[in-house]
Structure 1
Amino acid sequence: MPTRLRLVVYSLLLSAATSNSLSAQDSTRRWSRPNLVKTNLFAPVSLFYERALSERFALQGSVRWLSYYERHNVNFVNVALEARFYLNDSYWLQHKDHPAGLYLSPYLKARSLTYINEIGYGFNKVGDLDEVIIKSIGFGGTIGYQWVSRNGFTVDAFLGIGAMPAGLSSYEHTMRYSTVISTNGFTFHSLDSRAGISLGYSF
């Protein structure tokens, strides 16, 4: 291969390598905070984890739970997985360390609710237990807006609605001497609503 041609080939290879290196560095700089952990101020106990996968797309997993005993025992667990599509223009998003701005988010959710109540109170207790167990799987959509500060602190405001179809749900009402499988309550529990303001930190 002639010397001049070799120089041209080497120059092209060097240029391509430099371009890829700069692109990788720019990508690393752009997503210096790809992870985000936050909690919903409107939920009893909640934890959200969001992972940025591209300029406009992120995956978020969340879990909410509540457990207390006051005349009755209540245990509630809610797990959701959602895909976030950010709608802002690319130039604006490129200047953020984590995806921010207006987004649309379809989600898939599973939840379980257990309610146990001892019939009667004080000296009037009859020793029988009233137990309700509801397990549901559903889906829906959310719209929201996420702010990301230069220091990594975030505020996420969102509102959404979905459904927990009866075909993917079970409602079990149990007394001491009998078990009744019923659809009572599905009208109420088939509607799923989401609303909140979450505070978090990206890293």
Structure 2
Amino acid sequence: MQHFYSRWMTTAILLVSITAWKSVYAQDTTRIWTRPNVLKTNLLAPISLFYERALTRRFALRTSVRWWSFGSVTKDSKFANATIEGKFYTAKTGLLLTRGHPTGFFVGLYLKARTLRYVNEVGTGPGNPMALDEIKVQSIGFGVTIGYVWVARRGFVVELAHGMGSMPAALTSYEHTMRYSTVTSDSGRDYLMLDFRTGVSLGYAF
């Protein structure tokens, strides 16, 4: 009887072990990424910071911030962009499972908020003080990005991307102001309606 129970226990342990191994294996084949997060900076942008989070095998959500401030006696320029983007990776599942983070070609849809302030000396005003021309723009737009992401085993990331979007007039506030008068004008505004995104980014996945 004792021998029977020993054989039964041994068989039960083997069955439980096989079931557990299959469960672990199944979880591994559909695992969450070992390096789901990425921090990057665009080498072609003045100052930029990108954060990406892989949510599924083929989809990641990315947010980014870019800013720049330049000032001198005759010119002052400031801008800031904030973007949220959904990235859809097109690589085969087998390739994706060998990586810690999604890699390969991707297509991204993005939404961007932008603010711009530009001041320039345009001459002299009453009493010969310096006259300044100021433009302020606040806009929201959207677009499409395509690119390629390469992720090394140790987590280093290289991304090449190019995209184009639109900043609709209905979602844009445009203000043109002089130091001594206020001008309501849309002249020179057309170039602000387009949005171009080109990047060579370096980062790290963790």
Structure 2 length-normalised TM: 0.84
Rounded to whole Å, the distance in 1 between the matches of 2:36 and 2:121 is 48
Q: Which of residues 58, 61, 81 is equivalent to 1:56?
A: 58
**In the alignment, which residue of structure 2 is the partner of 1:126?**
129
Rounded to whole Å, the distance in 2 between the matches of 1:180 and 1:139 is 29
Q: Which of residues 72, 86, 90 is equivalent to 1:87?
A: 90
- Residue 117 of structure 1 and its aligned partner are, at CA, apart by 2.6
**In the alignment, which residue of structure 2 is the partner of 1:32?**
34
2:184 pairs with 1:188: no
Q: Is the 8 A contact 1:78 1:111 kept in 2?
A: yes
- Residue 174 of structure 1 and its aligned partner are, at CA, apart by 1.0
Structure 1 pair 17–159 and aligned structure 2 pair: CA distance change class (3 A) = same
SS in structure 1 opposite 2:44?
A: coil
Rounded to whole Å, the distance in 1 between the matches of 2:96 and 2:178 is 56
Aligned partner letter, 1:148: V
Rounded to whole Å, the distance in 2 between the matches of 1:134 and 1:155 is 32
Rounded to whole Å, the distance in 1 between the matches of 2:19 and 2:138 is 55
1:64-122 alpha-carbon deviations (Å, 9 max, x no partner): 1000112211111011110000001111111110000000001111111101234449x
Q: Which of residues 162, 166, 172 is equivalent to 2:169?
A: 166
Rounded to whole Å, the distance in 2 between the matches of 1:108 and 1:172 is 22
Rounded to whole Å, the distance in 1 between the matches of 2:174 and 2:188 is 8
Rounded to whole Å, the distance in 2 between the matches of 1:53 and 1:97 is 12
- Residue 43 of structure 1 and its aligned partner are, at CA, apart by 0.2
Paired-residue identity, %: 49
Pick the structure with greater CA Rg.
2
Rounded to whole Å, the distance in 2 between the matches of 1:172 and 1:12 is 74
Unaligned stretches of 5+ in structure 1? 1-6
Structure 1 length-normalised TM: 0.85
Q: Is the 8 A contact 1:67 1:75 kept in 2?
A: yes
Q: Is the 8 A contact 1:51 1:60 kept in 2?
A: yes
**In the alignment, which residue of structure 2 is the partner of 1:3?**
none
Unaligned stretches of 5+ in structure 2? 1-8
2:150 pairs with 1:147: yes
2:49 pairs with 1:47: yes
